[in-house]
Structure 1
Amino acid sequence: MNDSLTPLCLPPDTPWGEALARLNQMGSGILLVVDASGRLLRTVTDGDLRRAVLAALATQMPVSALPTKPPVVADENAGAEVLLRLMDMHAIDHVPVCDAEGHVRDLVTRRELSQRIWLSSPHLGEEETAFVEEAFRTNWIAPLGPHVDAFEKELATHVGVGHAAALSSGTAAIHLGLLLLHVQPGDTVFCSSLTFVGSCNPILYCGAQPVFIDSEPDTWNMSPAALERAFAWAKAAGRLPRCVIIVNLYGQSADMDALVPICDRYGVPVLEDAAESLGARYKGRASGTWGRVGIFSFNGNKIITTSGGGMLVSEDAELIIRARKLATQAREPARHYEHKETGFNYRMSNVLAGIGRGQLRVLEQRVAQRRQVFERYRAALSDLSFVHWMPEPKGWCSTRWLSCFTIDAYEPTIGEAIMRTLERHSIEARPVWKPMHLQPLFAGAPFFAHAPSEDVAQRLFRTGVCLPSGSNMSAEQQDRVIEHLRRALMSVGG
């Protein structure tokens, strides 16, 4: 039994008058009657005790003698939806969670189930409203328009790059980026393995073949050692990659000073996937500006959002001009609709660009807020030596888009147990990304590990957890996450 439940537990011979005093003191609405081993015998609610008062029962009567029904309980695998259905079915506001032997392990309340804490929810303010209202007032609703033009210029200025094209998604930006770098069917593309599938699905769109590169322990991003071995293999095989997709994971830049020179030595351009790292800096330079092209995402869960959208950036003006053409169905400059090549419907709408302009104005504030969330988690759990937070080397400044940690274990069921406990209390948590080289979609794709017999990405996936990290989390919400997370961690690691 966890310590937080101890004050709610009573032995069966406790007088109901004493239980009433305890209930009034705790304000919990429920007490748990357990035997000496912690096995649940019954629950006692304020309704049970109110009926005892009305029946004028002797206050020394033990709680075990009060009228009752069998307690409504859930097992440890029950999620928030199951628990809420139980509460609705039985018109109750609390459900004890018991193990297979009937020992009390947890108590879930209706209040917390109705107040879900999301992993990374959108955080909108007042700035966006004015831009969207302007789009409606001027009837610039369809794709393209003054907000699109302005958003491109403002974001390019913010990150310190020459040119930008606003697109429908980060994945669309990667697809166009690969086309701009002349990726063709049969080509090879190197890509970070520890990432979301959107980083590498566009490789398949182009008919190319991915080769996956492991992470390094110090940043969780692409391993320079693995990249070196992959290039040596590719050169020996006579098929150097057309480009390398370097992914910046969970808001933190990869080690560009180590990775980019390797690619330069072989004459292979870099596409920097900064979908998760807008606002991050590496040795004073903005994330997303290190490659021949870079991309950002404004999906609903990103640090700033346009509900859906992305941006392609480059110092090469001609690349961005071509990207805009391809993104608008590759239409030729003619009065009629003239097309000489395959194009795509990848441009961002003026309305969404207006949201993006408002969001960009608070980007630095959002980064600071997420970093504060991370630091509060780390401080609150600093006494747990088996918990290791995603590192941030000197010279890096991560956005902490998601707060992530690993535990000293190599057993995925432990992470599952932690996330199951949080989900039971309507707190969303996720595993670290499942590496692409372990995905059925890419079965058989070459993979280069950080070192012989050291698959860092797989270890991070098996031992890593991502916590709620939104910039709009309240202190109360974070306290709730910390409380249940500590309980879960102590049960598996303490």
Structure 2
Amino acid sequence: MALALRLDATGNGALGENVRLFPGRPAASAQPRQRILLSPPQLAGGELASLDHTLAAGWIAPAGPVPEAFEEAVRAATGTEYGLATSSGTAALHLGYRVLGVERGDEVWTSTLTFVASIAPAVQMGARPRFLDAAAESWTLDPEILESRLRQAATKGKLPRAVVPVDLYGQSCDLDVIVGLCGRWGVPVLCDSAEALGAEYRGRPVGKGAALAAFSFNGNKIVTAGGGGALVSDDAALVARARHLATQAKESAPHYQHETTGYSYGLSSVLAAVGLAQIGALKDRVAARRATFARYALRLSDLPGLGFMPEPGWGRSSRWLTTMLIDPARFGATREQLRKALDEAGVESRPVWKPLHLQPAFRGAPFHGGGISGQLFDRGLCLPSGAMTPEEQDRVIDTIRACCRG
């Protein structure tokens, strides 16, 4: 029986039998009611040819023409002048923190409603996190809270070393406002756009306008290299510094010379070849995700107590994940009851990110806001959003409808 690599929504891999990698192509001897995953990897069709060409040319290491070509494609997709392909999105964020000068004892501020990787590298460097609530109209960092905290921090002479807004589930933060606020006090912005490649903010790609932006090509993303990330900027010096650190901070000398320590954070030619074959499908993938969202919204619009992640007028979400809100009093079931019902039906779903200020790893870290993020966690559920047949999406929709008791 054939085996294929199967990735769950976190990008963690497991060997699954007869996993369908190409939408619309049935797996051999497919079992009935195959589990529907949140965002499984989807192949574009040119990966094998790209890999064959790369291997035939003898390129495997994180150097050479293939990573360079992938970086060029990433720069085009993000509308930025400079870019560095990295071994992961987390590595890109780590390099971003390094080049912005984050040191032990510095404060770094970010939205509490995000994945742990947004802040983990800074904490591991010895920085102290401060978490800000999300805005109800976008689920991203609330600029009003940010402005209030910056004013107070400035009066005390304790401004953060960096502010890290997050483009959540494919939805852009209000970046111009955030950059403008931080610019008043000289605080750089590192935008975590890991979940939002292909989304737009005021007609331009997300992340553009921040000092730096980080992207992910993990297995669950719209475009995947099977792993990998990128750090992009319009500032040549920042990316050059990041590239230096990503290659073990080797100085220009005939021997190994190091003025500081760096990392082995380059993206291999093998993974870059996969990413290069994938990235041309970005616009079509975004259109497909938005269509998936639209079908959910239409087919569930008559049910009481259900809503979806809003799309503010400033942006066009990629709808990387369709995310639903459940009001249990009106719908007749809680988020957790619905998640369990979907699981029993062979459908993967997942609660909205648990706010970082509620995570044991950050116990005692300061948090500012009215609790919007906690409410979203209590009521929010991410639905399967990758390549599905209409019949598979109908299974998700029918299960949700069957749970409604409102």
Instruction: Return the TM-score normalized by structure 1.
Output: 0.74
CA distance in 1, matches of 2:157, 2:358: 26
Equivalent in the alignment of 2:319: 400
Equivalent in the alignment of 1:143: 62
Is residue 257 of structure 1 aligned with residue 176 of structure 2?
yes
CA distance in 1, matches of 2:361, 2:151: 26
Q: Is the 8 A contact 2:327 2:334 kept in 1?
A: no
Is residue 384 of structure 1 aligned with residue 299 of structure 2?
no
Structure ranking higher on relative contact order (CA contacts 8 Å, 6+ apart) = 2
Q: Is the 8 A contact 2:213 2:232 kept in 1?
A: yes
Q: Is the 8 A contact 1:166 1:312 kept in 2?
A: yes
Equivalent in the alignment of 1:161: 80
Query: Counterpart of 1:189 in structure 2: which amino acid?
Result: V
Query: Counterpart of 2:364 in structure 1: which amino acid?
Result: G
- Deviations along 1:119-147, one digit per CA (max 9) or x if unpaired, are 00001122222211111111101221211
Give secondary structure in 2 for the equivalent of 1:111.
coil
Query: Counterpart of 2:392 in structure 1: which amino acid?
Result: Q
Structure 1 position 283, deviation (Å): 1.0
Q: Is the 8 A contact 1:251 1:280 kept in 2?
A: yes
CA distance in 2, matches of 1:474, 1:448: 42
Superposition map of 1:67-82 within 5 A: none
Structure 1 position 303, deviation (Å): 0.9
Give secondary structure in 2 for the equivalent of 1:247.
coil
Structure 1 position 366, deviation (Å): 0.4
Give secondary structure in 1 for the equivalent of 2:259.
coil
CA distance in 2, matches of 1:458, 1:338: 49
Is residue 479 of structure 1 aligned with residue 398 of structure 2?
no
Identity %: 48
Equivalent in the alignment of 1:177: 96
Is residue 293 of structure 1 aligned with residue 212 of structure 2?
yes
Give secondary structure in 2 for the equivalent of 1:189.
strand
Give secondary structure in 2 for the equivalent of 1:303.
coil
CA distance in 2, matches of 1:352, 1:120: 19
Equivalent in the alignment of 1:92: none
Tell me the number of residue pairs that the alignment of Structure 1 and Structure 2 aligns.
375
Equivalent in the alignment of 2:374: 458
Equivalent in the alignment of 2:362: 442
Equivalent in the alignment of 2:291: 372
Match of residue 265, structure 2, among 346, 349, 354 = 346
Q: Is the 8 A contact 2:320 2:385 kept in 1?
A: yes
Coordinate RMSD, CA, aligned: 1.5
CA distance in 2, matches of 1:288, 1:144: 26
Query: Counterpart of 1:242 in structure 2: which amino acid?
Result: R
CA distance in 2, matches of 1:329, 1:385: 56
CA distance in 2, matches of 1:392, 1:147: 36
Equivalent in the alignment of 2:19: none
Q: Is the 8 A contact 2:174 2:314 kept in 1?
A: no
Equivalent in the alignment of 1:101: none
CA distance in 2, matches of 1:405, 1:117: 17
Match of residue 429, structure 1, among 314, 333, 349 = 349
Give secondary structure in 2 for the equivalent of 1:249.
coil
Structure 1 position 409, deviation (Å): 4.0
CA distance in 1, matches of 2:37, 2:231: 28
Give secondary structure in 1 for the equivalent of 2:224.
coil
CA distance in 2, matches of 1:230, 1:274: 23
Structure 1 position 237, deviation (Å): 2.9
Is residue 316 of structure 1 aligned with residue 231 of structure 2?
no
Q: Is the 8 A contact 1:135 1:350 kept in 2?
A: yes
CA distance in 1, matches of 2:65, 2:292: 35
CA distance in 2, matches of 1:224, 1:246: 10
Q: Is the 8 A contact 1:219 1:392 kept in 2?
A: yes
Segments of structure 2 that go 5 or more residues without pairing to the other structure are 1-30
Query: Counterpart of 2:78 in structure 1: which amino acid?
Result: V
Query: Counterpart of 1:480 in structure 2: which amino acid?
Result: R
- Deviations along 1:415-465, one digit per CA (max 9) or x if unpaired, are 11100000011100000000001111111111110xxxx311000000000
Query: Counterpart of 1:307 in structure 2: which amino acid?
Result: G
- Deviations along 1:29-55, one digit per CA (max 9) or x if unpaired, are xxxxxxxxxxxxxxxxxxxxxxxxxxx
Query: Counterpart of 1:156 in structure 2: which amino acid?
Result: R
Q: Is the 8 A contact 2:133 2:372 kept in 1?
A: yes
CA distance in 2, matches of 1:465, 1:345: 36
Match of residue 222, structure 1, among 122, 138, 141 = 141
CA distance in 2, matches of 1:230, 1:438: 20
Instruction: Return the TM-score normalized by structure 2.
Output: 0.90
CA distance in 1, matches of 2:224, 2:325: 28
Q: Is the 8 A contact 2:175 2:207 kept in 1?
A: no
Give secondary structure in 2 for the equivalent of 1:487.
helix
Structure 1 position 395, deviation (Å): 3.4
Equivalent in the alignment of 1:111: 32
Q: Cα distance 1:409–1:216, how it changes in 2: closer, same or farther (>3 A)?
A: farther
Q: Is the 8 A contact 2:118 2:192 kept in 1?
A: yes
Query: Counterpart of 1:303 in structure 2: which amino acid?
Result: I
Match of residue 251, structure 2, among 332, 336, 339 = 332
Give secondary structure in 2 for the equivalent of 1:423.
helix
CA distance in 2, matches of 1:198, 1:395: 26
